[in-house]
Amino acid sequence: MAKVLMLTLFFTALMSSRGQSCYVQSPFYVRVPLTIPAGYVAKVETSGCDPTSLWFSSKDPSFTVRSDGVIIALRSVTMETGERTFSVGVHDNNGPESEMEVHLVYKRTRKTNEKREAVLKRTKRHWRPAPFHILENGKPPFPIYIDQFVSDSSQNYSVFYTLRGPGIDEYPFDIFSFNSENGKLYLKQSVDREEYSEFHLTARVFDKLNQKERDNPAPITVIVDDENDNAPEFIGPLQFVVDEQNGPGTLVGQLKSTDRDDPNTDHSRVQYKLLSGLNYFAIHPKSGTITTVTNTLDRETTDKHFVIVEARDREGAANGLFTTCTVTINLRDVNDNPPTFLKTPYKATIAENVGEKLLLRIPVEDKDLINTPNWISKFIITKGNENGNFRIDRDPATNEGCLYVTKPLDYEISPIVRLEVLARNEAELNSTSAQWQTVPVNVTVTDVDEGPEFSAPTITFTIKENTPNGTLIGTYSAKDPETKKSDGITYYKSSDPGGWVNVDKNTGQLTVANTIDRESDLVRDGMYNITVRAVDATSKSGTGTVILKIIDENDNMPVFPPGLVLCQKTEDELGSVVVTAEDKDGSPNTFPFSFRLPPDNDGTWSLEPLNATSAKLKQVKPLSTGIYDVPITVRDQQGYGAEKITKVTICRCRSGVCLAQKRAVALGPMGALALFLPLLLLLLLCLFLIFICATKKQKAQIMEADDYKGTLLESNTEALGDNVDANFLSMGLDQGAKGSKVSIMNQGWAGNKSFSTIGGHSMHDFGYNQSGMTMTNIQDVYSRQFDHYGTQHVGSTLLGNGMDYRGQDSSLLHWQTVELMLQERMKYMGQKEREEEEVNDTLHCYGYEGAGSTAGSVGCHSDIGDRDNLEFLNTLGPKFKSLAEVCTKS
């Protein structure tokens, strides 16, 4: 057991008068051993305080103070730094608590001899003094003595001291002053510990005689002791959110604070306290954590609470400094209120056969937060909507339920429909025992006179294709929904695309009217639809759909292309081609197909099956290029098929297409036909134009000439021909004036170019007097056109197109106009003398160069006259082969 030592501490307690609190002198220093054993006791004696209500408290957990003032060490304490400081509170009923700072200072024990006499030993002054302490916020008068430092060298030398550092010759200046003779340090002004907690100075000692430094520099530390001069300050958020209806102990939030005072003292040890809101919240005194103390927090009653919190230092002591703040606690909404209906039951009325109509609006009330999942309603029809006649939606603007009729109601089936509607929220209910509510809705259906109704909206009959006409398919009848009878109802077809069905007007029987073809484009997936209408005596009608499911018959044999192309790579290499067949019938009357050659075939070809619809036709013997007829028999799965001839063309190919063959000099029948076709088309076009012109008011008979006598002439000779009569021009003019016919062998006007024969026609071929018009009349009619268009322009236009003169309706007038213009031109040329070069640039007549030629003209338009005899092409020289080809292709 540890030895108990007693130490008496005398506290000077001054009390001015009864009723005032005790005043304690502070700080107080006590010397203690280097190691304080557990159970070490210090007795506190007081005077001037009320002994009946006096009590003590220790702020150091290593020590406790009994009510009689005895301080006991609870555990062994080692004085590592040589000093330990703690506070002792003294309090009676006369006033607030007083506090004294107790400084425990290690005391050195003296050595003793055998007679227990103290052994005296000279102790050197120590040059490295302990830290000096000053109290912040010192009160005047200044300067205040702090302490003195002395060097051991002062015993042997006459010395002086110097002191440098912050507070003296460094910032902050003029905090301290010292006496260089004796080393005493003074405080010149008050110091704020929160600004300067320590000052580190350097002291030096010098010999006065020779200014020589007699000791090492010594560090001097001045510690500013804290005074509780700063109240706590709140930091961090002062606003929290918590769910409503939560139970006790739910965390709301945590407050934090700071205190500028020394954190190692009670001056900065803060305790928290609620000053309001104690019915709903609590706060932990040390951590500042706010929690709920009840489950009655209701957002619908109060959505936020304002709580006042106090933070006091000195661990909440009465003499501690404090500050307060207001904490805002918002309550988060939970779905603790279901939607409620404003009345019950709801009633509505609607006529039968009415659909897609708003029937009723159902309002609800919800106390939860608006426009949140806790408030947004959701309506469900829980009963009475088994047939899907109704739907209910939410109006987002009003949060009401909108009840619609989506499928018409039938009065004869249900004159009254009883529904049950449930209202709930998007979010589930929470923190409440309430349940979702329902409300009954009674819908009355009114009767309406309606048309007949078929036994079923859609009916299906099965029938084979190609069924004979008149065969009964079935009966599709209707009844009056009010009487449930079919009396007085007549039936009509509304839709029958193929006209395949007849409907009996009185009974609704369906019979075959025309051949039913499953392979028709009117059939989709083997189904054919018709629409039937039933009409009662009041002309009200109803419609129904009849679906004919058509069973397939094997009435289509497989078919394959009539012509195939077999590409020959080399003359010795045997080729092949794929034969693919098709069958419009369905399974099992279609593929797989069987391909066969005739039994008596000569072995030139063979067939090799490829798949269900194709076979490969292979060449067995070498064949030259050309067209060959190959008989092939294709049969379907049921053996239905026949032998057919396909033409196989063997040729040299490029990209699967036969290359063009070199044209021979001797054109065969196909060559003649190819040459004749363009000419035939041109002739038909001419006949068409003649027909149009002949149907107008003025008609002229046009003689079709079999021989146009067109010739191919050299056009590089501008001189007169060999057989030109100089009197021809004048003679033609005279005869034209008398109204006689003028024969012009060479037609066409080319300006300064020479004339050549085009088609071989003359004006005699058209007979310009057949309409009864004289030359004078024609001249009067067309002189204006001649003058307007000009000789050259009109002449080239009229003679070039042959049968189109702008503004005129008759081909006869056209040719008469041509003759008139030519006469005017020749008359002009005969009246005026010309220079030699001008005479050459005139109208000339040329000889017929085609006379005596077996081939006739070889112009592109000469084929019309010789279309019955094309053998002359074989007599032409090689130079004319390309020209013949050009004419034939065009």
pLDDT, tens only, 499-522: 999 999 888 889 999 988 888 888
Nearest to 721 by CA among 824, 835, 823, 849: 849
Least confident of 22-26, 180-184, 212-216, 650-654: 22-26
> Yes or no: is domain 453-551 CATH 2.60.40.60?
yes
Asked whether the beta carbons of 443 and 410 are under 8 A apart, the reply is no
- In CATH terms, the fold of domain 340-446 is Immunoglobulin-like (2.60.40)
Q: Which fold has domain 132-225?
A: Immunoglobulin-like (2.60.40)
pLDDT grade, residue 406 (50/70/90)? very high
172 band by pLDDT with thresholds 50, 70 and 90: very high
CATH number 2.60.40.60 given to 6-106 = yes
**pTM, to two decimals:** 0.43
Query: How does pLDDT run across 263-315, given as a tens digit for each residue?
Result: 988 999 999 999 999 999 999 999 999 999 999 999 999 999 999 999 999 99
Max mean pLDDT among 62-76, 614-628, 651-665, 670-684 falls in: 614-628
Between CA 314 and CA 229 the distance in angstroms is: 11
Confidence band, pLDDT 50/70/90 cuts, at residue 337: very high
Strands 322-332, 239-243: pairing kind: parallel
pLDDT at 876: 63
Long-range CB pairs of 404-408 (<8 Å, 24+ gap) are 404/356, 404/357, 404/358, 404/359, 405/350, 405/354, 405/355, 405/356, 405/357, 405/359, 406/355, 406/356, 407/355, 408/352, 408/353, 408/354, 408/355
Q: Which CATH architecture has domain 233-332?
A: Sandwich (2.60)
Cβ neighbours of residue 210 under 8 Å, at least 6 residues apart? none
pLDDT tens digits for 10-42?
Answer: 333 333 333 344 555 556 667 777 777 777 666
Q: Where in the chain is the domain with CATH 2.60.40.60?
A: 6-106, 132-225, 233-332, 340-446, 453-551, 563-658
Provide the 10 A C-beta neighbour count for residue 584: 16
Across the chain, mean pLDDT equals: 76
Q: Which fold does the domain 563-658 belong to in CATH?
A: Immunoglobulin-like (2.60.40)
Mean pLDDT of 179-183: 92
What is the reported pLDDT for 797? 38
State yes or no: cis peptide before 592, omega within 30 of 0.
yes
- Please provide the DSSP assignment of 374-440 as one string: TT-EEEEEEES-TT--EEEEEETTTTEEEEEE-S---TTT-SEEEEEEEEEESSPP-S-----EEEE
Cβ-contact 551, 464 below 8 angstroms: yes
Residue 393 has pLDDT above 90, yes or no: yes
pLDDT beyond 70 at 216: yes
Residue 145, pLDDT score: 92
Note the pLDDT of residue 310: 97
> Per the structure block, which two tokens stand in for 566?
């077999």
Burial zone of 650 (CB within 10 Å; 0-12 exposed, 13-18 middle, 19+ buried): buried
Q: Quick one: what percent of the chain has pLDDT higher than 90?
A: 35
- Residue range 756-779: average pLDDT? 40
Q: How, if at all, do strands 453-454 and 437-446 pair? A: unpaired
Number of helices and strands in the chain (H, E): 7, 55
Contact 710, 857 (CB under 8 A): yes
887 — pLDDT class (breaks 50, 70, 90): low
pLDDT digits (tens, 9 = 90+) for 590-626: 888 888 888 888 888 888 888 888 998 888 888 888 8
Helix (H) or strand (E) holding 826: helix 811-831
Span of 494-498, 740-744, 860-864 with lowest mean pLDDT: 740-744
Q: Check residues 75 and 226 and name the one with the higher pLDDT.
A: 226
